[in-house]
Amino acid sequence: MLNSKKILLGITGSIAAYKSVFIVRLLVIAGAEVRVVMTPAAKEFVSSLTLTTLSRNKVLYEIADEDTWSNHVMLGRWADVMLIAPLSCNSLAKMANGICDNLLLATYLSATCPVVVAPAMDEDMWRHPATTRNIKTLEGFGHSVISVGKGELASGLYGEGRMAEPENIVTYLSEKYFRSNDLRGKKVLITAGPTYEAIDPVRFIGNYSSGKMGVAIAEAFYERGADVHMVCGPVSIDVCYKGIEITRITSANEMNGFVEALFPSTDITVMAAAVADYTPKLVAKEKIKKKEDELHLELIKTKDILKSLGALKNDNQFLVGFALETENEHENAKKKLLFKNADLIVLNSLRDASAGFGKDTNKVTMFDKAGHVFEFEAKSKKLVAIDIVDLIIKKLNEKE
């Protein structure tokens, strides 16, 4: 989403300025073009050499040096968004009052793009009525204020006033300003993670799925503008966008219940979850005691959710399944595509060192109904998710 976007980062004098280094890094990794402008005070807290190196652009802080004048007007016009993080109490007060005594403030006053600020200060300063008034003034100008967090402050005290974390700031920018419209109005259902099948009140049968692939797919769809609902087994990872609706389940049967209820109103469904194929026939009410040398569990098949959706789906719905294979990968994946009546199957092979449960990378091959095979290089799950979404969009466009 941030690819090729122009972000102007303003840094003011605050201990939290060290976090700006991470903001620059995250923006650059996401493909954004970043220019940094600092107040003179900010230079006391973070090195312009570090920021110049990471942003790949010379950091600016003087309105004019010996023989050049920094064109603050063009800087403000160049940017898609101006982010001021951290915003100190002093710079906040100056912005609220139109004071223009450094390059950052001159740039701010000339900026024609949206302005976002991430304040950082001690709790007592944050709570002062003058600060509250100044924040309200900035909001009144139409600027966005990223809420401060609670935690340990530079003073050593604990309280409100910490600048939001770099990841959250970057997510905020992506979500608010750069979500695309490719899938606007489309309803997408994603399943992710493992399912746990209870044996007794303290034990279950599960699998190693981390949910990372499913979460990355949900986020990639959301970034393309879709309304995303995720039905998710027990996983520990977080979803970065608050706009993604999440239903948390434990067992295959529970997952089936929610998926079946949601499916009729969805346009695209991706079954990325590692659903248990078998579940204990009976769940012991009390903890099973270790009396015998051998313990036999009777298991029964769970419902194949993907297959049942394949039988229900209409011509306007697009259904994607995964195939996790350890042998005869292509053959088995193609069989699953037909048997379950999916439109696309994403194969991951556990034979590949870059693929598998818990890893941050994956290597997939996708199969469509027309017999096409799409092979992809090993890459991060985030980039794999983008490939999957791109191919689905391509297939939907071909249908139209």
* Active site amino acids: 207
State the pairing for strand pair 373-375/364-368: antiparallel
Q: Which residue lies nearer to ligand CTP by CB, 20 or 209?
A: 209
Q: Determine the Cα–Cα distance for residues 73 and 186; give it in Å rounded to an integer.
A: 40
CA distance 204 to 234: 12
Q: Measure the CA–CA gap between 28 and 9, rounded to whole angstroms.
A: 12
221 torsion bin: left (phi>0), alpha (psi -120 to 50), beta (else):
alpha
Determine the 3-state secondary structure of 49 from DSSP: helix
φ, ψ (nearest 5 deg) of residue 135: -60, -45
Contact residue for ligand CTP among 61, 126, 172, 322 (CB under 6 A): 322
Nearer to ligand CTP, 57 or 341 (CB): 341
Do residues 43 and 34 touch, judged by C-beta distance below 8 A? no
Task: Say if residues 12 and 87 touch (Cβ distance below 8 Å).
Answer: yes
C-alpha–C-alpha distance, residues 20 and 166, integer Å:
7
Q: Quick one: which segment of 62-70, 90-98, 170-178, 268-276 binds ligand CTP (CB under 6 A)?
A: 268-276
Provide the token pair at 30: 């996401």
CB of 190 to ligand CTP, least distance (A): 10
Q: Should residue 302 be labelled a site residue for ligand CTP when binding is judged by CB under 6 A?
A: yes
Closer by beta carbon to ligand CTP, 86 or else 310: 310
Does residue 38 belong to the site contacting ligand CTP (CB under 6 A)?
no
Determine which residue in the list 152, 277, 331, 360 makes contact with ligand CTP, applying CB under 6 A.
Answer: 277
Is 336 a binding residue for ligand CTP by CB under 6 A? The answer is: yes
Piece in contact with ligand CTP (CB under 6 A), picked from 131-139, 215-223, 315-323, 391-399: 315-323
Residue from 197, 223, 304, 387 that binds ligand CTP (CB under 6 A)?
A: 304
Q: What angle separates helix 89-97 from helix 103-110, to the nearest 10 degrees? A: 40
Interaction between residue 188 and ligand CTP (CB under 6 A): no
Distance CA 12, CA 3 (A): 26
Question: Shortest distance, CB of residue 332 to ligand CTP, whole angstroms?
Answer: 7
Interface with ligand CTP, residue 324, by CB under 6 A = yes
Does 217 participate in binding ligand CTP (rule CB under 6 A)?
A: no
Q: Judged by CB under 6 A, does residue 271 bind ligand CTP?
A: yes
Q: Does 306 bind ligand CTP (CB under 6 A)?
A: yes
Q: Which residue type occupies 153?
A: L
Where on the chain is the footprint of ligand CTP (CB under 6 A)? 252, 271, 273, 275, 277, 302, 304-306, 321-324, 336
